[in-house]
Amino acid sequence: MQHRDSIYQLGLLLLIAVAGGFGAWQAYSVSSLLEQNRQDANLRKLAQVQAFRAQDLLGDAEQVLEAYTAFFQASEHVTDIEYRQFSSTLLPQRIDVYAVHWAPKVGAAQRPAHEADLQARGLAADGIFELDNASLSSQPAQARPTYFPITYSEPLNLNRRAIGLDVTWRFIGESGPIQRALAGQRYTTPPFPIVQDGDGPWAVAIFQPVFEAGGEPFTLERLRGFLVLLLRPEILLTERLNPILEQPYQMRLVDISEPQAVQIYPRQATVWPSGQEYRFDLELGGHNWEFEIAFEEQPHLGVMPALLAGLVVALTLVIVLAVGRSFRQSTALRLANTELSRLAHIDPLTGLANRRRIEEMAEQIFALEARQKSFSAVCVVDLDNFKQVNDRFGHQCGDNLLIELAEVLRCGLRSADVAARIGGDEFVLLMPQLHSVDDVTGVLVRLLEAISDATWGQDQVDQVSASIGVALSGPECRDFSVLQQRADRAMYAAKRAGKNRYMIWSDTL
């Protein structure tokens, strides 16, 4: 009997041990799966935010080109001094933009005079030239009816060697910049090494055709020239994109627009991480890129301590701790995701909305306008002489100035208005539910007065003013990007009119 009881007890202990071990294994497996899913969701969110930021920076580069286009469309002739002054307000913060060239159309009969003009400025000693694509060596441009030599380039100290280069000849073809221009389109090149820095990161060029005033047709006779923006994607990814601090990772950028994909970054072979990998589509000037982020492999979860098979309480405690741990981690992940979502819509310096946020709000507001019989105002606010403040007092003072301006905008706008910082010292205001122009002008007058009367930089800066461009929505236009472009042109008109004022866009600007 005692022997039989011993066998029964041993069997019961074995049964509890097996059940406890099975339960512990089940709990561990479920907890591990949840942990891996949470880690994957967290890493995906981090990678997605990086992709959004990269696309925003690419969009900023196209905005730079649009600003130059508006500058040239506003004047039939732009001097090298005007070009340099305009560039000094746009390019200092854009280290990924290696250059912005102006390449006017030069006929064969005009070539000698154009070359003499360049040489009189101490540039292009060998005249108009072209490149051998294989060796990047220069040679005098062959005789042809039309040339597009680089005549202005900023920053000039980095691009002096490029002055005189017939910039379209390198990309001649059935779908080259001239053919795209005659179709009224931009042309974006595949990645290529540049003559100014052949050993440096590759660049991508965006050709923006500039035509004589008057609209279509887009003909070679009406083509004034090309604005060419040289963008270095590697610099954008490595120096302008804020790094992910939570987990080691690597990035890769591939141009997939052509049949043969071209890896833009990194140019050298690297050991690709073995952890989670995510791919996102980016777009620049009609070219499609694939942006990849791969994280280093996550450390494996440790093996849970062995559970006492015969103690049900211990087994229950382990399960409760595992579930509690899962809930705590789930809450932490949800909070982190909420914070990431918030950061994706907020400008980190000023706390105002960013470009993505104001575009989303504009879409919602414009959808309501037709039913409410109201209109909205899109205003571009730009500080006058902000570069001089940065140069004189330093970038920290400039950042403090932007923060103080954001506070002035918060206090001076109506509760329904939206203020956003879209880059540098440029702010965009969205003022909905307007019924008369006086509703806009009254607010703008108060804002200009508040900016002029405010104490800036703890009395370091004597006086600050702003120029404001305004574009009004209506049945003919409720496109935020078009209204922003109009407001941007009106803002430059305000600057030309003497600064410290607002200007409302009209067809005459």
Catalytic residue positions? 425
Parallel/antiparallel/unpaired status of strands 418-423 and 277-284 = unpaired
Question: 437 is written with which tokens?
Answer: 């122009």
Q: What are phi and psi of 199, to 5 degrees?
A: -90, -5
CA pair distance 439, 142, nearest whole angstrom: 60
CA pair distance 440, 342, nearest whole angstrom: 29
Question: 328 is written with which tokens?
Answer: 């705590």
CA pair distance 290, 353, nearest whole angstrom: 28
Contact 377, 447 (CB under 8 A): no
Question: 357 is written with which tokens?
Answer: 């946020």
Instruction: State the DSSP H helix or E strand holding residue 56, giving kind and residue range, or none if neither.
Output: helix 2-73
Contact 274, 315 (CB under 8 A): no
User: Residue holding tokens 């340099």?
Assistant: 84
* Beta carbons within 10 angstroms of residue 450's beta carbon: 15
CA pair distance 381, 423, nearest whole angstrom: 11
The alpha carbon dihedral of 75, 80, 82, 85 has a sign of positive
Burial tier of 453 (Cβ tally within 10 Å: 0-12, 13-18, 19+)? exposed
b/e per residue 213-223 (b: at least 16 CB within 10 A):
eeeeeeeeebb
CA pair distance 452, 413, nearest whole angstrom: 16
Instruction: State the DSSP H helix or E strand holding residue 288, giving kind and residue range, or none if neither.
Output: strand 287-295
Q: What is the three-state SS of 364-382?
A: HHHHHHHHHCCEEEEEEEE
